């Protein structure tokens, strides 16, 4: 069940995120809530760009906070031509039935090697039964 889609454009890069609660892989009795998220990145600039790094901030509703950073996404550092889209899916585990994520991608404009940051919009991860 997709229940949350957010989109943000920064520096000509559009980032959209959908989230899904993975009920079959979650174990609430063990405080494990698994969410998948699907990201689509669109290059709306007139230049070829490459995604170099990711940085995530992850918040559980119990106040726990963690950061994740590293090269690329899902093992790739995609190059996007003007107008091109790149999509990937990943997962996040929480200890609570609600949380949120946000972050940034570091890109390089290949023409002049200029680095810039594109924001990943904040998105919520909520077990559907909490929405009733």
Q: How far apart are the first and last CA of the chain?
A: 14
Specify whether the CB–CB gap between 21 and 33 falls below 8 A: yes
Domain range enclosing 113: 2-131
One DSSP character per residue, the chain reads -EEEEEEEEETTEEEEEEEEE-GGG-BGGGTBEEEEEEEEEEE-SSS-EEEEEEEEEEEETTS-EEEEEEESBTTB--EE-TT-EEEEEEEEEESSSEEEEEEEEEEEETTTTEEEEEEEEEEEEE-GGGG-
Number of domains in the chain: 1
Q: Residue for token digits 């790094």? A: 53
Q: How far apart are CA 16 and CA 6, in angstroms?
A: 6
Specify whether the CB–CB gap between 119 and 10 falls below 8 A: yes
* pTM for the model: 0.93
When pLDDT is averaged across residues 117-121 and rounded to a whole number, the result is: 98
Tell me the pLDDT band of 132, cut-offs 50, 70 and 90: low
> Of all residues in the chain, what percent carry a pLDDT higher than 70?
96
37-87 pLDDT, tens per residue? 999 999 999 999 999 999 999 999 999 999 999 999 999 999 999 999 999
Q: For residue 116, what is the domain's CATH number?
A: 2.60.40.1470
User: What element of type H or E holds 20?
Assistant: strand 13-21
């Amino acid at each position: 069940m997709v229940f949350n889609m957010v989109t943000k454009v920064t520096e000509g890069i559009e980032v959209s995120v959908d989230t899904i609660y993975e009920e079959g892989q979650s174990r609430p009795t063990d405080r494990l809530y698994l969410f998948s998220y699907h990201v689509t990145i669109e290059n709306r600039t007139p230049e070829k760009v490459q995604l170099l790094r990711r940085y995530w901030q992850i918040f559980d509703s119990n106040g726990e906070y963690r950061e994740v950073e590293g090269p690329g996404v899902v093992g790739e550092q995609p190059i996007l031509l003007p107008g091109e889209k790149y999509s990937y899916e990943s997962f996040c585990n929480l200890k609570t039935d609600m949380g949120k994520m946000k972050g940034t991608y570091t890109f390089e404009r290949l023409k002049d090697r200029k680095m810039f940051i594109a924001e990943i919009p904040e998105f919520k991860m909520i077990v559907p039964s909490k929405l009733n």
